[in-house]
Amino acid sequence: MTSHPQQLPVRVVLDNIRSGLNVGSIFRTSDAFAIQGVDLCGYTARPPHRDILKSALGATKSIPWRGHETTRGCLQSLKDEGWKIAAIEQFPDSIHLTEWTLESSERWAVIMGNEVRGVDPELMDLADCAVEIPQFGVKKSLNVSVCAGIVLHHLHHAHQPA
């Protein structure tokens, strides 16, 4: 596996993502921002799934990934390893992405929820916060891979020296 010289202290947790194309796209975006890894939970497709390879364009070789039977088990393991958890979802107490401030020493795992149901509210007891992307259109919904790109871009800039 090819590794990045300086990794962003971020992991993406994919909670029951139906589309292998979305998973592959998230791998590719994760490579672009050199994050530390991707966690594939529940029925989320895993490499070498053909749709993942089609959209990842080789990023499954440069981004470490782990498979987990359940998202809850994954999140508990990450918390035990010292990761902070952010659910990327529109919950009543969500903070806007633009208002999410980070300490340079923090390591964050961001949960991206199912394409239809979003992040399972039953996982919120393990999350340190809920973060939402401000949206101004009628739908108030983004594709999960687009959402991941916006969040990883924000985290990349948040970790740059001032």
Task: State the DSSP string of 103-135.
Answer: -TT--EEEEE-BTTTBS-GGGGGG-SEEEE---
* Mean predicted confidence (pLDDT) in 94-102: 95
* Mean predicted confidence (pLDDT) in 94-103: 94
pLDDT digits (tens, 9 = 90+) for 109-157: 999 999 999 999 999 999 999 999 999 999 889 999 999 999 999 999 9
Residue 32 pLDDT > 80, yes or no?
Answer: yes
Residue 3 pLDDT > 60, yes or no?
Answer: no
Which whole-number Å values give the CA distances from 113 to 61, 127, 150, in the listed order? 24, 13, 15
> What pLDDT does 147 receive?
98
Amino acid residing at 130: A
> What pLDDT does 162 receive?
63
* Mean predicted confidence (pLDDT) in 84-111: 95
Give the Cα separation of 1 and 132 in Å (integer): 33
> What pLDDT does 2 receive?
56
Q: Superfamily assignment of 8-158 in CATH? A: SPOUT methyltransferase, trefoil knot domain (3.40.1280.10)
- For the chain, the structural domain boundaries read 8-158
